[in-house]
Each structure stands twice: as structure tokens, then as C-alpha cells.
Amino acid sequence: MIGIVIVSHSRQISDGLKRMADAMGQESIPVVSAGGMDEPDDPLGTDALRILQAIQEVLHADGVLVFADIGAAKLNAETAIDLLEDAQKRKVRLCDAPLVEGVLAAAVQSAAGGSIEDVMREAQTAYTPPMATGRETERTPSVTPSADALLREYEIATPLGLHARPAALFVSAMNRHQSAIDIRNVTKNSGYVNAKSINKVMTLEVQQRDRIGVSASGPDAAQVHDAIQALIDQNFGEAPATGGPPSAPPPKPATDTADGDGSILNGTAIRIGYAVAPARFLRIELPDVDARQVDDVDAEVVRFDEALATARAEIEALIQRGKTMLDDYEVRIFEAHLLHLDDPEIAEAVRKRIRKDKSNAEHAWRDTVAAMVASYRGLADPVIQARGDDLADVGLRVLRILTGADAMPTRFETPVILCTKTLRPSDIPTLDFSNVQGLCTEKGSKTSHAGILASGLNVPVVFGLGARIEEIEEGRDILLDGASGTVDIDPDAKAIKAAQEKRTAWRDRMDRAERIKFRPATTRDGQRRRVAANMQGLQELGNIVASGAEEVGLFRTEFLYMNRTDAPGEDEQYGIYRAAVAGLDGRPLVIRTMDIGGDKPVPYLQQPNEANPNLGWRGLRFCLANTKVFHTQLRAILRASSHGPVRVMFPMVSTVDEVTAARREVEAAEAQLTGAGLDFDPTIQIGIMVEVPAAAETADALAAHVDFFSIGTNDLTQYVMAADRGNPKVADLIDPFHPAVLRVIQRTIHAAKRAKIWVGMCGAMAGDPMAAPILLGLGLDEFSMNAAQVPEFKLSFSHLSADACARFAEEALALDTAAQVRERTAAFLDAQTE
């Protein structure tokens, strides 16, 4: 494995590039950013001592490649290498390659394996000018496989074909074999190229549904094909579409790709609802700008340079905001924007035009950028096409600064369903939603910042439809179902009629839910329960407050620890918790200490590889063994408690001993704060998650030591049913409506009642209106769910009678199967709402 050091005059560039390299190398290789200088007034430049330190940080690797952006940076990188001891020097090379392409290619090749020479060669051949791709004649000469080679063909099903991550996985797998391996794109009738080279594989432009031919000759040729088959079987680790509304029965084993069959495209349900309307593709276009003669070209160039500087400052602020919002995706997008903005080719071409044609800056900029965008979009490669969108976005930003006119939100004159590749958080304010009936995207996830914001929109939203989104015809009526997460691109009259009826009922229900959402959740017979929201980042505060949630029942803090290289410090965490307290404006906040481990590993905390991470060293188990990290978090939570009602909750508790140990750590953290003269609430409520069967069985004993319980149904169900949440083959068993799970929930609630502590629920079941009768009947005090579910939950709750639910719960728990429980519940709900 080869380490990488990135040297750039701009720290933003080297930091951004490091993140991209981390993603390409799957965080498995050491990459250090050594850009810029520690001079607040003059941050552009390079510092050989900083570079030296960066090299030393990765010297533990088998070798180190240093990449530098321009001349002076190269000189300083050489100087840094010269300062190493001779033995160290031999491991380090300055790699003369284009910075961005070189680093990314090196990251992939290093993750795949190979000597320092191999990695260097990949980096140096990484760059193909955009105009050259797709041209057959520019291809590297093909190789001819030997006669004894083992040949086989495969079809590639991943949405992006063999690009980015899938290509990296493929090349990594090939590099683990001794055989000489060559690959060709059968569909495009290309020649063979070396399958161990990421750049060569990329030149094949393997797209979804292309067939590849692989030839392997050598001692492990058969294993090569086994490895490829394994990758194909796992669809290169690309997650199949998941989702569906929380109230849907457990999803069927997801063996399909994201595409679906016939005219139906499957995606991820982001926001429930139904829409039928003409499709409209959203595309960033640069508006025409009038040409104008300028007299003082020098002043015009200065005006242009100032606009670039303003744009840079704006983008840097957006990156900063993305970082505080822990939105990695947002940060990466804007870092890519900075790279375009800093592209000297574009800026120089614009300056030239201003001088030569005496053109106004906005006209010169618009024309130059639009031509570049068009050439990107004209290429076959979807990854390069996407670059065109980024560039267009940068183009718009600079135009807005130059012309001083804020772009009006994009308005649609007639009802439309918007279709787009990705939706970014910054897109939402640029759209006028008055005629938007629905929204769907090719890519995007529920947990992204955009996913969270979109879940608060008043229109149905489906993300992640995959490449088939391109089959949607502009202007044609399509049918979007935000409950099942599907889009019908060619609906028949019957389907349209059914969807319109559903839409009317849904709109009606939504209107009623909106009207009652700020009222307390009260049953028909006057029983009140608390409705709370789950949260994992500050960006959700707006949605939570607007949803009518009365408190936050679960603030997941593990996300503060992910996607970074070291643990967040006390002050950073305190700042976040305090901001949450302030944003909630008096609403109580339950902060759960980090649940690291299981399916949420954090590289810098050095957890061992575990055969069974879900049954392993996670949650409170991990915290009690890492008291330094634990104390830091506890101090931050306690300090936030001096500003408003904060409660602390421990995840993954199994025994009384763990709880008493955790309480001791809280006392230790309190003593440290007292020693430092810092404020906290000494009466802070301390609670635990009940998600391990052992905790539920001994809930009586545990209740004596805590102020509240919160039942985590997601893990509880997998542990009670002994069925892995991530394994589609046993997905049918993961059903919280199974009487076994319901009885464990009942025991937990009863133990809490006897001990006179409150008990809530923060798993997916809590927000499911279908589960409400049973949970209300069993006596649950607090229901914590996604903010978007709150209004409808309150509405359905208001139809229930607590007395009837109590009787119904007894009855339901005596049933034999989950299916029976669901069936009876549906009948009960129908009777209640009549």
C-alpha cells in the first residue's frame, strides 16, 4: 500500500482532493493533505516543513507518492524530500502528474495494490483531455491475450457501469491475482486492455448493460473468474433500492436492482403522497447575456477577478456550512465547484476575450462556460456529463455576482413532476413549488441533507430511481407514488384514475393533519401522549420544529464521529448540543451517547474486526472501555444541560452493572466540570435504550437505576428474532408486529410503570400509525419518530380510544403470527375511524 501526500498552493484544494481520494480508495490508504500556508493574510503558498510532516505521517506505508500542483509547490516538495533521512528518502517519490487526476488514480491503484512504480505509472497516465474521451482513435493500443487464456463474458448491471467505486472494486480484485488479466468491452467492440489498471479499465467506458470479456492466464485464472462472478453477484456492493413507507409490511427480500420492471421504476420513498402530471427534466442552463463594448478592459478584468473571488468566498462558506452540518455530500459537491472556479484555463480564456473583444465580463464568462458545459454534456460518459452540471452551477453563481441580479426561483406555469439527476439542498430554495406536484431523482439517499430537507416538502418525493430515469419522456404524464417509492413512466388510464383517487384522499388527510399538528396528541377519550422526533444533525431542527413534535426523543450522536479522521472535541460537541437546545426552544432533548460499532464503524477508534459486529463491542460496551472519548462526550452533554432540558441516554445496555458503571462515569464527568467551574444541570435525567432482550427481561431491575426507558425496536426485533437486519434472506423475520417482539415490549412497559418511570419508543415502529393502537394500549408514554411522520401520526392518534386500545392490545398479544396481528389491527383501525 502506497501513501499519498497532496501539495497544493490552496489548502481548500488539497483538503477537498484528499476527501475525494479517501472516497476513491475506500478510506483504506493513507492520504494526507499538505496544502496552503498558516498565514491568515496570505494563505496561498506551500510550506516545506508542513509537507515534510505530512510525508512522515504516511511513512509507515510501503512507499509514499507526493503530488504537487505547480512549479513552486514542486520545488518545495523536493526540498521537503531532501530533508528526510536517506533511508526514508528511498521510500518517497515526487510524482509528476496532473494533481487531481493523478491523485485519484493513485488512490485507486494504491487501494488495489501494486508497487510504488505501478501506482506512479497509473497516476502519470491518468489524464485524458475531456475532448479525447470517446474517440476510438485515441484509445491505447489493445493487447492480445495468450492462447491458453481462460475467457469469459459478463454483463454489468451497476447503474454507472464500471466507473468510480465499481471500477475500483474490480481493479482491486484483479490485483489480488497473479494471472495476467485483460478486459474488453464486448458491447462496444473494443480491444483488450490490462484489467489491473484503473485508467485502462476506465477507457473502456463500460456502461450499464454492457458486456465485458475477461481473459485470464496464469496459475489462478479460474479464481479470477470466481472473483468477478462474486462481484457481479453482489452487484459490486451497490445497494439495491430500499425503502417503502414505514407503515408498509416488511420489504420483500431485495434481490432486484434499483430499476424495476416494465413501466415501473423503483426508488426510495422520501416523502409520502401521490401525483399524476407531465414529467419535466430540471437542468441548469446559463441564461443569455447581452454583449456590450467596454472601454476600460483593465477595469473589466479586475471586475471579473473580483467576481471570482466573491464566488470563491461564497463557496468556501458553503463548504464550511456543510462541515458543521456534517453533510459530506454537500461538502464534496462544493469542493468540486471550487476546482472548476479555480480552473486557470477558463479564467484565462475569459480574460483574453475581455481584452481582445472589449467584451463585458458577464458575456465573456457566459459564452466560455456555456461552450465548456456543452462539450462536457456532449460526451458519452455520464460521470463527465455530471461535471458539466457542476460547471454550469459555478457559471450561474459567477453570472449572478457579475450582473447583480438574483436568479428568480424557477417557476412552472403548469403542473409538473420534476425529474432530476440529483437534488441538492441548495436547489430547494431555487424552485417555486406552487406548480410542482412531485419530485423524483436518479440518485440520492434518505439520510443525505437533501433527503432530510425533501422529506419536509409538501409534495411526494422519490429518490434513487437509477439510470432508467432517462426513459422518462419529457412532457408525458407520469405517476409518482411516494408511499411505495415508485414512478410509473407509462401509466394506463386505470392506473391514473386509481392514483388520482389516492391523491385526493391523501391531500385531504394532509390538510387535516396540518391543521392539528401543533395540538397535543390526544385520544378520543382524552388521553394525552407525547409525540417526539428523532434527529441526527442540526440541519433537521427546522423540520422538527415545523412538524409539531413536542420534543426530541432521540438525538443520534454517532454521526458526529463518522467521516472524519479524529474524534470531535468537547467544545465542538458542546457547540452542537447547545445549538440543538437553542433551536428546540424549550422542547426537551434526549441525547444518546455514541452508538459506535455494529454497522457504524469509525476507523480512527481502532475497533477490531469482528465476526459478529452487531453482537460485538458497540454502544455502551465500547464507551465503558474508552472512557476518554466517553468523558469528552458526557462533559459536552452535561454542559449543554445548563441551557435547557437535556436528557442523556445510553445505547446497547444489557446488564445492571453496565448502568451503574455508566452512572459512575457521569459522576466523574460532573466532578471534572465542577473542578473546571463549568455549569451543568445536576438533576439531568439519565435513561437507557431497551433494545437487548436481556435488558427487557430484567427491566424491573434496570428501572431502579434510571429515569426513563426508550425502546429501540429496530435492534430489539433483530435480537429477539435472531435475524440480521442487513440480510435480505431473513428479512421476513424482521417484523416488530410478531407477538414475540410485542410481548417483550409489553414486559418493558409494565416494568417501567411499576417503577413509576416514563417509557418511550424511538424505533421505526413508534411512527407507524398501524402500531399506535397496540403501543397506546400497552401504556407507552412517548412516541419518537421522523419529523415528517408527526402530523399524520397525531391525526390518526386522535381517532383512537385509549380504553378500546388497551383491550385490543391484550387480544393482539395472544395471537400466533405477525400476519394475524396486522390483519386484526387493520380491522380494529377501520372500526375506530368510522
| Interface segment toward other proteins; rule CB under 8 A; list 68-76, 198-206, 324-332, 368-376 | 68-76
From 48-56, 295-303, 543-551, 620-628, give the range in contact with other proteins by CB under 8 A.
Answer: 48-56
CA-closest candidate to residue 617, choices 594, 592, 602, 598: 598
> Which residue carries 380510544 as its cell?
801
- Strand ranges for 394-463 from DSSP E: 416-420, 436-441, 461-463
**Alpha helices in 358-463, H assignment, sequence order:** 361-377, 382-403, 449-454
Question: What DSSP character marks residue 537?
Answer: S
Buried b (16+ CB within 10 A) or exposed e, 57-92: ebeebebbbbbbbeeebbebbeebbeebeeeeeebb
DSSP-assigned letter for residue 414: S
Q: Give the nearer residue to other proteins in terms of CB position, either 49 or 313.
A: 49
User: Smallest distance, Å, CB 401 to other proteins?
Assistant: 23
Quick check: 678 binds other proteins (CB under 8 A)?
no
| Enclosing H/E stretch for 21 | helix 11-24
Q: Which stretch binds other proteins (CB under 8 A): 11-19, 67-75, 178-186, 208-216?
A: 67-75
Q: Applying CB under 8 A, which of residues 40, 42, 511, 628 lies at the interface with other proteins?
A: 42
700 is a site residue for other proteins (CB under 8 A): no
Closer residue to other proteins in complex, CB, 52/361: 52
Q: Which is nearer to other proteins, 46 or 455 (CB)?
A: 46
88 near other proteins, judged by CB under 8 A: no
Q: Which of 11, 50, 177, 446 binds other proteins (CB under 8 A)?
A: 50
| CB of 775 closer than 8 Å to CB of 748 | no
Q: Which stretch binds other proteins (CB under 8 A): 77-85, 484-492, 521-529, 747-755?
A: 77-85
Cα–Cα distances (Å) from 287 to 254, 408, 764, in that order, read 43, 12, 45
Q: Is 317 in the site for other proteins (CB under 8 A)?
A: no
Return the beta strands (E) in 455-556 as ranges: 461-463, 477-481, 486-488, 521-522, 528-535, 551-556
Nearest CA-CA partner of 196 in 98, 119, 92: 119
Q: Residue 80 or 785: which CB sits closer to other proteins?
A: 80
Residue 40, interface with other proteins (CB under 8 A)?
A: no
Q: Contact, 597 vs 619, CB < 8 A?
A: yes
Let me know the angle formed at the C-alpha of 22 by 19 and 27, rounded to the nearest 5 degrees: 140
Q: Contact between 92 and other proteins (CB under 8 A)?
A: no
Among 1, 23, 61, 75, binds other proteins (CB under 8 A): 75
User: Which residue in 90, 43, 97 sits closest to 68, CA to CA?
Assistant: 97
Nearer to other proteins, 45 or 130 (CB): 45
Contact (Cβ atoms closer than 8 angstroms) between residue 773 and residue 825: yes
**Which lies closer to other proteins via its Cβ, residue 80 or residue 800?**
80
403 sits near other proteins (criterion: CB under 8 A) = no
Contact indicator for 570, 636 with CB cutoff of 8 Å: yes
37 in contact with other proteins (CB under 8 A): yes
Q: Is 805 a catalytic residue?
A: no
Q: How far apart are CA 596 and CA 319, in angstroms?
A: 26
42 Cβ neighbours under 8 A, 6+ residues apart: none
Stretch that binds other proteins, among 38-46, 243-251, 443-451, 756-764 (CB under 8 A): 38-46
Question: How many CB atoms within 10 Å of residue 276?
Answer: 23
Pick the catalytic residue: 95, 419, 762, 805? 762
Is 79 a binding residue for other proteins by CB under 8 A? The answer is yes
Q: Does the footprint of other proteins cover residue 242 (CB under 8 A)?
A: no
Site string for other proteins, 788-807 (x = CB under 8 A): --------------------
> Which range touches other proteins (CB under 8 A), out of 42-50, 226-234, 358-366, 408-416?
42-50
Helix (H, G, I), strand (E, B) or coil at 768: coil
Q: Is 374 an interacting residue with respect to other proteins (CB under 8 A)?
A: no
- Report the residue number, 75 or 545, with the smaller CB distance to other proteins: 75
585 binds other proteins (CB under 8 A): no
**For other proteins, which stretch binds (CB under 8 A), given 75-83, 381-389, 652-660, 716-724?**
75-83
Inter-residue contact 558 to 594 (CB < 8 Å): yes
Question: What is the distance of C-alpha 363 from the center of its chain?
Answer: 37
Tell me the C-alpha to C-alpha distance, in Å, between residue 671 and each of 572, 638, 662, 747.
20, 11, 14, 36
Does 199 interact with other proteins (rule: CB under 8 A)? Answer: no
Choose one: 72-80, 275-283, 395-403, 422-430; the region binding other proteins (CB under 8 A): 72-80
Q: How many residues bind other proteins (CB under 8 A)?
A: 19
Q: Assess 49 for contact with other proteins (CB under 8 A).
A: yes
In the bound state with other proteins, the residue whose beta carbon lies nearer, of 47 and 327, is: 47
Q: Is 826 in the site for other proteins (CB under 8 A)?
A: no
**Which is it for strands 486-488 and 477-481: parallel, antiparallel or unpaired?**
antiparallel
Q: Does 545 bind other proteins (CB under 8 A)?
A: no
- 755 lies in the binding site for other proteins (CB under 8 A): no
Grid cell 479564467 in the structure block, residue: 347
Q: Is 649 in the site for other proteins (CB under 8 A)?
A: no
Catalytic residue among 177, 340, 363, 449: 449
Look up 762 and say whether it is catalytic. yes
Of 47 and 658, the one with the shorter C-beta distance to other proteins is 47
302 touching other proteins, by CB under 8 A: no
CA 163 to CA 431: how far, in whole Å?
31
Nearest CB to other proteins, comparing residues 75 and 248: 75
Q: Pick from 12, 14, 33, 76: which binds other proteins (CB under 8 A)?
A: 76
Phi first, then psi, for residue 375 (nearest 5°) are -70, -35
Is 46 a binder of other proteins (CB under 8 A)?
yes
Give min distance, CB of 330 to other proteins, in A: 30
Q: Considering beta carbons, is residue 82 or 256 the nearer one to other proteins? A: 82
Nearer to other proteins among residue 37 and residue 701 (C-beta):
37
Burial (CB count <10 Å: 0-12, 13-18, 19+), residue 834: exposed
What element of type H or E holds 4? strand 2-7
Residue ranges of the alpha helices (H) in 68-158? 71-82, 86-89, 99-112, 116-124
Taking CB under 8 A as the rule, does residue 84 contact other proteins? no
Could you say whether residue 96 binds other proteins (CB under 8 A)? Answer: no
Among 19, 26, 45, 672, binds other proteins (CB under 8 A): 45
Residue numbers at the binding site for other proteins (CB under 8 A):
9, 37, 39, 42, 44-50, 71-72, 75-76, 78-80, 82
Query: What are the residue numbers of the active site?
Result: 449, 762
